[in-house]
Amino acid sequence: MGFRRFVRRGWLDAERAREMQAHLDHHVDDLIAAGCTREAAVREARHRFGNPTAIREEIYEMNSLPILETLTRDLRYSLRMLRKTPGFTIAAVLTLALGIGANTAVFSVVDALLFRPLPYPRPDRLALLQYHTRTPQEGDSRQTGANGRMWMAVRDNATTVDAAAVGGTAGVNLVARGQAAYVQQQRVAAGYFHVTGIPPFIGREFTREEDVTGGPAVVLLSYELWTRVFGADPGVVGQAITLRGEAYTVVGVLPEKFPITQRSSFTAGQGVDLWTPLRAATTGEGGGINYAVVARLHDGVGWAEARNDMKRLSPLAFRSVPPDTIAELDLAPMQAAMTEGVRQPLLMLWGAVAIVLLIACVNIAGLLLARAVTRTREIGTRMALGSGRRAVIRQLLVESVVLALIGAAAGLVVGWTVLSLLGQLGAEVFDLWQPLVLNGRAVAATLAIALLTSVIFGLVPALQASRLDIQAALGEAGMRGVAAASNRWPRRLLVIAEVALGVVLIVSAGLLVRTFVHLRDLNPGFDDRDLVTLSVSLQDARYRDPVAVQQLFDATLSRMRAVPGVEGAGVALGMPYARLLNNGIRRVDGRHTDPPNEGQITNMTYVTPGFFETLKVPLGAGRIITDADTASSLPIAVVNQAFVDRYYKDDDSVLGRHIASGQVTREIVGIIGNTQQGAAGWGDFGPISPLPCVYVPVSQTTGPFLTLVHTWFQPSWVVRSTTAADALVPQLRQAIEAVDPQLPIAKVSTIDDLRAERLAAERFMMWLVAGLGFLALVLSAVGIHGLIASGVNERTREIGIRLALGATGRQAMMAVVAPGIVLAGVGVAIGGAAALAASRLLRSFLWGVTATDPLTFGAVIAVLLAVAVVASVMPALRVLRLDPAQTLRAE
């Protein structure tokens, strides 16, 4: 039968009834005309016609599609049932929505970062150069990146791959078409765009001749810069721009949204506005691991072959390897190598969100089981009235699916909201390759899980219920004195599981929160109030000489100090909380000395006089840097206490000792207090730590040193003033502009900003896991509440009897509340043990708190038990309002 008739069958039936009546009327007319009495005519007509109702039914059935028919009926019934129990429905939908929403959102992030292919053509053929070392002391180590020597070995000798090195990204000053702009510049080797597979869409990329020291100054523009500054002028190729004070010729423009390859160290996450040739060297920048080398496997070359090719080049790449040491070049698939750093936290996050989903499923299962118990009578009645077992199962199935679908719809809304939140929070933490969108696969997967859960747990009771003894089910009404205990066990186990999973998650969240608070509240080592910092790029041809730099600093600082309200001002290459330059030094004399060509790694920064005074870093011994320390005076250094502790243990006269760095040997003239610094990559130090540090006067640096460090770091002016930042910053800007109008300010930050920036990853993890922990807590509470509430429902009569026999309300209440609290206790115990195991996985994320922190564990246990008590007592309060007489009469 057609769908149209199916939809219209109600209307058609009414038509048919009228039509048949007309038929009878005509027949009666004829019979009367033939001489019958009216009564006889009506009787005869009816007799000849047959049973109109039966015929209408027959037609109605003909017009219906049997499957659709029952489905619509089940659907209507389900919606009615769901409406009738709003508490259950809201709890179930909310649970599903949160579970599905959180999962799709987090999975979408994981997918975008770890699984979605890199946005280059044929990304599976792209690799990053790695090197593998094994020494007897330190064992195996595998690093991504290369120094100049390694890159040149690959560039000049590789036969299986096309490779190109990428240098760091740095902010520089651009002057073009009468505008000055602060832009991000990345240096890349010739052939880089060929390797990525995305060539310039106007012009060409760099040639080998341009990618050598002293080669022509050429530049490639990003599409975005080209439209912003050059008005998308197609004739831009061949035009000159001024970059870092030098003239460059534009040779090409990259297509829109060119995906940036970052070396992931200094400037992760920033966009790139223009590219210049890398001009690799084996000294300076090229002396350390400061390049990333991207390689594309030649067609037909396998990974093993390409890796062997790299291995073959190892002797060229490493100088004088000791006999007991292995040093080899290697390749790793680009995506795997790039995501190494975020993989662990992301997978952990995924684990956390999976726990939430698990809890949500457990909750749904519990809710459905509880519902089945209360519906035993309804189902019994339906079966007694002739409903088939299959019909009952089908109807319960439809109900589960409807519930899951509503939950999924709400989940999509939640997921979308969470995702946009994650995008904002995560932007400073992860290099996002592509915009975050709700992932279709994630939606499908979580929807499937939700459906499966609700169907399975919707069906278990359905099967049970449909097998039930109708008489017993109906009869139970009268005998519901004490509800059978056996059918409550599945639910109890579910509640225990839920609480246990919740404990694991909330303990993790608690540990991360404690870590964050610990890091945030670390003693800065200076007075961190009333400070403003401004950073400016000095990657500029005019500032390659220490004298010019010194003049700039002196002139701007004296102007800033003249601003009313300013108590002090200074410049340093790196501020507190920032990452500092890692530099090798050699101890020349004293108790500990280093042999020539060996040394220790330390943080180093140059400072101007006034820097320590402005920050108010306490001086331990000796003196700080003053105006008397000039290029012609004795080279000096001030070191911090951490440096002394690490490198001058048991040496009681550090002042006057000498340290050598490069060609310069400096005398230690002062020991200053520690300040917190960004410590990523510093062995066992946390994300911010008081690292060993050497401070040198800017006046005693060299031109090559400044040129090199200014490609990586932007020096910062720091000013102490009680004037509000809004009023102060414009005056500070003016001070710099008055001295050099071509130097745009890269960034203005307070110390709090710098600290927050450094803790972005920790904050991200903390908020996420804390959010998930909270979710787990809410879901567990809902689960316990549901269990107790249905317990109270089932036992209303029993409680009525108890009350009638003289039990007090309090006693009756305890009887129903106790199981909830006991179950929560068991769950907490199991969860606590599981959390002890799980928190071990977290260890590398924890600072200032142990993985078994008793305070966290104690607090979580207390909170969960408190929630369990509240969730149990709330539904049990009904008991107090019970009127025993009414309860007993009710059935």
Which residue lies nearer to other proteins by CB, 62 or 336?
62
**Whole-angstrom Cα distance, residue 339 to residue 144?**
11
Q: Give the closest residue to 614 by CA, choosing from 566, 676, 562.
A: 566
**Whole-angstrom Cα distance, residue 408 to residue 85?**
19
One-letter-per-residue 3-state SS of 309-351: HHHHHHHHHCCCCCCCCEEEEEEEEHHHHHCHHHHHHHHHHHH
| Interface region with other proteins, contact rule CB under 8 A, candidates 24-32, 185-193, 589-597, 808-816 | 24-32
| Interface region with other proteins, contact rule CB under 8 A, candidates 56-64, 114-122, 236-244, 353-361 | 56-64
Contact between 63 and other proteins by CB under 8 A: the answer reads: yes
H/E stretch holding 140 reads strand 139-144
**Whole-angstrom Cα distance, residue 823 to residue 825?**
5
Contacting residue, 7, 8, 15, 656, with other proteins by CB under 8 A: 15
- Within 10 angstroms of residue 112's Cβ, the number of other Cβ atoms is 21
- Shortest Cβ distance from residue 7 to other proteins (Å)? 13
Helix 389-426 / helix 86-110 crossing angle, nearest 10 deg: 50
Kindly tell me the burial class for residue 131, based on how many C-beta atoms sit within 10 Å of its own C-beta (0-12, 13-18, 19 or more). Answer: buried
CA dihedral 354, 355, 356, 359 (to 10 degrees): 130
Strand 139-144 to 161-176 pairing: unpaired
Contact between 774 and other proteins by CB under 8 A: the answer reads: no
Q: Give the closest residue to 706 by CA, choosing from 545, 498, 511, 574.
A: 545
CA distances from 439 to 248, 425, 427, 765, 886 (A): 43, 18, 18, 21, 55
Q: What is the largest CA-CA distance in the chain?
A: 142
- Within 10 angstroms of residue 21's Cβ, the number of other Cβ atoms is 11
Contact between 31 and other proteins by CB under 8 A: the answer reads: no
Which residue lies nearer to other proteins by CB, 59 or 75?
59
Contacting residue, 8, 11, 14, 22, with other proteins by CB under 8 A: 22
How many residues bind other proteins (CB under 8 A)? The answer is 27
CA dihedral 234, 237, 240, 245 (to 10 degrees): 100
Contacting residue, 7, 40, 62, 870, with other proteins by CB under 8 A: 62
Contact between 38 and other proteins by CB under 8 A: the answer reads: no
**Whole-angstrom Cα distance, residue 845 to residue 687?**
9
Tokens of 299: 């067609």
Contact between 29 and other proteins by CB under 8 A: the answer reads: yes
Residue pair 869/542 in contact by the 8 Å Cβ criterion: no
- Shortest Cβ distance from residue 35 to other proteins (Å)? 17
Q: Name the amino acid, one letter, at 761.
A: A
Contacting residue, 7, 8, 38, 48, with other proteins by CB under 8 A: 48
Contact between 49 and other proteins by CB under 8 A: the answer reads: yes
| Interface region with other proteins, contact rule CB under 8 A, candidates 26-34, 300-308, 846-854, 862-870 | 26-34
- Shortest Cβ distance from residue 63 to other proteins (Å)? 7
Tokens of 431: 């290099």
- Shortest Cβ distance from residue 57 to other proteins (Å)? 9
Strand 246-253 to 600-607 pairing: unpaired
| Interface region with other proteins, contact rule CB under 8 A, candidates 14-22, 156-164, 389-397, 742-750 | 14-22
Contacting residue, 43, 52, 350, 830, with other proteins by CB under 8 A: 52
Task: Count CA atoms within 13 Å of residue 430 on its CB side.
Answer: 27
Q: Give the closest residue to 92 by CA, choosing from 82, 101, 107, 103.
A: 82
Which residue lies nearer to other proteins by CB, 22 or 472?
22
* Ordered DSSP codes for 492-508: HHHHHHHHHHHHHHHHH
Which residue lies nearer to other proteins by CB, 6 or 847?
6
- Shortest Cβ distance from residue 42 to other proteins (Å)? 14
Contacting residue, 8, 14, 23, 119, with other proteins by CB under 8 A: 23
Contact between 2 and other proteins by CB under 8 A: the answer reads: yes
> What are phi and psi for residue 807, nearest 5 degrees?
-70, 145
> What are phi and psi for residue 567, nearest 5 degrees?
-95, -25
Contact between 65 and other proteins by CB under 8 A: the answer reads: no
Strand 600-607 to 693-697 pairing: parallel
Which residue lies nearer to other proteins by CB, 56 or 311?
56
- Shortest Cβ distance from residue 8 to other proteins (Å)? 11
Contacting residue, 5, 134, 149, 298, with other proteins by CB under 8 A: 5
Contacting residue, 59, 332, 432, 863, with other proteins by CB under 8 A: 59
> What residues from 549 to 588 belong to the interface with other proteins (CB under 8 A)?
none
- Shortest Cβ distance from residue 40 to other proteins (Å)? 17
Task: Count CA atoms within 13 Å of residue 742 on its CB side.
Answer: 18
- Shortest Cβ distance from residue 124 to other proteins (Å)? 56
Residue pair 827/787 in contact by the 8 Å Cβ criterion: no
Residue pair 685/691 in contact by the 8 Å Cβ criterion: yes
- Shortest Cβ distance from residue 46 to other proteins (Å)? 10
Which residue lies nearer to other proteins by CB, 12 or 778?
12
- Shortest Cβ distance from residue 58 to other proteins (Å)? 5
Contact between 752 and other proteins by CB under 8 A: the answer reads: no
Contact between 20 and other proteins by CB under 8 A: the answer reads: yes
Contact between 19 and other proteins by CB under 8 A: the answer reads: yes
Contact between 805 and other proteins by CB under 8 A: the answer reads: no
| Interface region with other proteins, contact rule CB under 8 A, candidates 1-9, 292-300, 465-473, 784-792 | 1-9
| Interface region with other proteins, contact rule CB under 8 A, candidates 44-52, 72-80, 289-297, 710-718 | 44-52
Beta bridge partners of residue 585, listed in sequence order? 600
- Shortest Cβ distance from residue 75 to other proteins (Å)? 24
> How close are the terminal C-alpha atoms of the chain, in Å?
47
Contact between 58 and other proteins by CB under 8 A: the answer reads: yes
| Interface region with other proteins, contact rule CB under 8 A, candidates 25-33, 91-99, 283-291, 560-568 | 25-33
Contacting residue, 37, 51, 582, 722, with other proteins by CB under 8 A: 51
Which residue lies nearer to other proteins by CB, 16 or 518?
16
Contact between 208 and other proteins by CB under 8 A: the answer reads: no
- Shortest Cβ distance from residue 71 to other proteins (Å)? 19
Contact between 43 and other proteins by CB under 8 A: the answer reads: no
- Within 10 angstroms of residue 739's Cβ, the number of other Cβ atoms is 17
| Interface region with other proteins, contact rule CB under 8 A, candidates 12-20, 94-102, 722-730, 790-798 | 12-20
**Whole-angstrom Cα distance, residue 547 to residue 545?**
5
Which residue lies nearer to other proteins by CB, 61 or 589?
61
Contact between 437 and other proteins by CB under 8 A: the answer reads: no
Residue pair 263/291 in contact by the 8 Å Cβ criterion: yes
| Interface region with other proteins, contact rule CB under 8 A, candidates 19-27, 486-494, 694-702, 863-871 | 19-27
Contact between 14 and other proteins by CB under 8 A: the answer reads: no
**Whole-angstrom Cα distance, residue 54 to residue 51?**
5
- Shortest Cβ distance from residue 381 to other proteins (Å)? 30
- Shortest Cβ distance from residue 386 to other proteins (Å)? 20
> What are phi and psi for residue 591, nearest 5 degrees?
-60, -40
| Interface region with other proteins, contact rule CB under 8 A, candidates 15-23, 83-91, 559-567, 802-810 | 15-23
Residue pair 288/147 in contact by the 8 Å Cβ criterion: yes
Q: What share of the chain is helix, strand, coil (3-state, %, to 5)?
A: 55, 15, 30
Which positions touch other proteins (CB under 8 A)? 1-2, 5, 12, 15-16, 18-20, 22-23, 25-27, 29-30, 48-52, 54-55, 58-59, 62-63
